[in-house]
C-alpha cells in the first residue's frame, strides 16, 4: 500500500515542480505568479520500447485552484488537479479519477504541491535529499529519495531552470526515464479566463 501511495505522490512532484517553482534556497530567483501558463515537450524512454515516446502540450498552474495539464500530441488528453481531486479525461470522457474522499493521500499530495508552489523546501525535504548548484541566473537541483520505499519507485529527479523551471528529468527505478522541457512560460494575464475558470469547476 505504501508503495502505491508513495508513487502517487512522486508522480506528481515533477509536474508541480516544473509547473511553478521549486527552490526556496534558490527560491529568490524564481518568479511566483498567481497564474502561470506555458508549453511542454516530453520525451519518455520506456523499458522494453525500441523508440522514445514523444509528446507535447500546454499547461496552466493557478496558485488558488490547481493545475491543468493538456497533452495535445500524439493523443489529446486533459488532466486536472484540484484540492480534492485528480481527474484525467480523454475525448471528453473521464479515463481516470482519484478523489480525496476515497483516497486520503490526494490531500497530502496537494499539501505537498502547494508547499512546492509556495517555495517551501521543507515539505520536499521530508521525502528527498536535495543537492544542487547555481551559476548566475541558472540553477540545478538533484532530488534523491530518502526512504527505501520511495527509492524502489524513483531513482532520482533533476530540476533545472532560471526564473522558471525549464527542465525536469525523472529516472524511475524500473529503468524508465522521462525528460520534460518547458517553454514559453508567461505570468500574464494574471487571472483565469472564463473557460479556464470553468474547467476547474
Partner 1 sequence: MTELGGPSRAHRWLAAAWLALLLVVAGHNGWLWLGGGARLETDILAMLPQNRQDTAAQDATRQLADAGARRVVALLGASGWNDARRAADAYAAAIGASGLPLALRYRIDARESGDWLGFYAGYRAQLLGDDARHRLANTPVPTLAEQAAAALFQPVGMPRQGRWQDDPLNLYGQWLGERASQSKVRVRDDRLSLSNGDQHYALVMLEQQGPAFSVSAQQAMLPALAKARQAALAAAPSARVIEAGIPLFAAAASTQAEREVHTIGAGSLLGILLLTVLAFNGVRPRILVTLSIVAGLGCAVSLTMLLFGKLHLITLVFGASLIGVAENYGNNYYAYRLGRPAGERWAMLRGQRSTMWLAFATTAIGYGLLALAPFPGLRQMAVFSVTGLFSAFATVLCCLPFADRGEMPFNGFSQAVGNWRRAWPRWGRNRFTILFAVCAAVICLAGLVRLQANDDVRALQNAPRQLLEDQRRVGELMQMAGPGQFFLVSGASPEQVLQREEALKARLAPLIAAGKFAGVQAISDWVPSESRQTADRALLQRVVFAPGGVLEQAAGLLGQAMPSPSLPPLRPLTIDAWLAAPVSEPLRAQWLGRFGTGYASVVMLRGLAGPAALPALAAAAPAVAGVRFIDKVGEISGLMRHYRQLMTWVIAASYLLVLAMLWRRFGRRAWRALLPTLLASVLTVALLALFGQPLQLFTILALLLILGMGVDYGVFLLADADPRAFLSVTLAAAGTLLAFGLLALSSTPALAAFGLTMLLGISLCWLLNPLFTPSI
Residues that bind partner 1 (CB under 8 A): 1-5, 7-8, 11-12, 14-15, 42, 44, 46-51, 53, 55, 69, 71, 74-75, 77, 79, 81, 86, 88, 90, 95-96, 98, 102-105, 107-108, 147-149, 152-153, 174, 180
Shortest Cβ distance from residue 102 to partner 1 (Å)?
5
User: Which of these, 11, 183, 193, lies nearest to 88 by C-alpha position?
Assistant: 11
Shortest Cβ distance from residue 60 to partner 1 (Å)?
14
Shortest Cβ distance from residue 79 to partner 1 (Å)?
6
Question: CA 84, CA 54: separation in Å to the nearest integer?
Answer: 30
Shortest Cβ distance from residue 77 to partner 1 (Å)?
5
Question: CA 8, 9, 15, 19: dihedral to nearest 10 degrees?
Answer: 140
Cβ closer to partner 1: 134 or 160? Answer: 160
Question: CA 161, CA 108: separation in Å to the nearest integer?
Answer: 26
Cβ closer to partner 1: 138 or 169? Answer: 169
* Other beta carbons within 10 Å of 105: 16
User: Which of these, 36, 28, 183, 38, lies nearest to 121 by C-alpha position?
Assistant: 28
Question: CA 70, CA 83: separation in Å to the nearest integer?
Answer: 18
Cβ closer to partner 1: 69 or 139? Answer: 69
Cβ closer to partner 1: 55 or 134? Answer: 55
Amino acid at each position: 500500500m505504501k508503495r502505491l501511495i508513495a508513487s502517487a505522490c512522486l508522480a506528481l512532484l515533477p509536474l508541480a515542480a516544473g509547473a511553478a517553482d521549486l527552490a526556496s534556497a534558490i527560491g529568490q530567483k524564481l518568479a511566483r505568479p498567481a497564474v502561470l501558463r506555458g508549453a511542454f515537450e516530453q520525451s519518455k524512454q520506456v523499458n522494453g520500447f525500441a523508440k522514445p515516446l514523444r509528446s507535447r502540450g500546454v499547461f496552466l498552474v493557478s496558485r488558488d485552484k490547481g493545475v491543468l495539464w493538456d497533452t495535445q500530441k500524439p493523443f489529446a488528453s486533459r488532466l486536472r488537479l484540484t484540492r480534492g481531486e485528480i481527474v484525467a479525461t480523454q475525448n471528453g470522457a473521464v479515463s481516470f479519477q482519484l478523489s480525496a474522499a476515497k483516497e486520503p493521500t490526494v490531500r497530502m499530495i496537494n499539501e505537498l504541491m502547494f508547499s512546492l508552489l509556495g517555495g517551501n523546501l521543507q515539505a520536499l525535504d521530508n521525502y528527498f535529499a536535495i543537492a544542487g548548484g547555481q551559476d548566475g541566473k541558472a540553477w540545478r537541483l538533484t532530488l534523491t529519495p530518502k526512504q527505501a520505499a520511495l527509492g524502489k519507485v524513483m531513482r532520482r529527479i533533476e530540476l533545472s531552470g532560471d526564473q522558471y523551471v525549464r527542465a525536469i528529468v525523472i529516472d524511475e527505478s524500473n529503468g524508465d526515464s522521462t525528460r520534460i522541457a518547458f517553454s514559453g512560460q508567461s505570468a500574464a494575464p494574471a487571472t483565469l479566463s472564463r473557460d479556464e475558470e470553468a474547467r476547474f469547476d
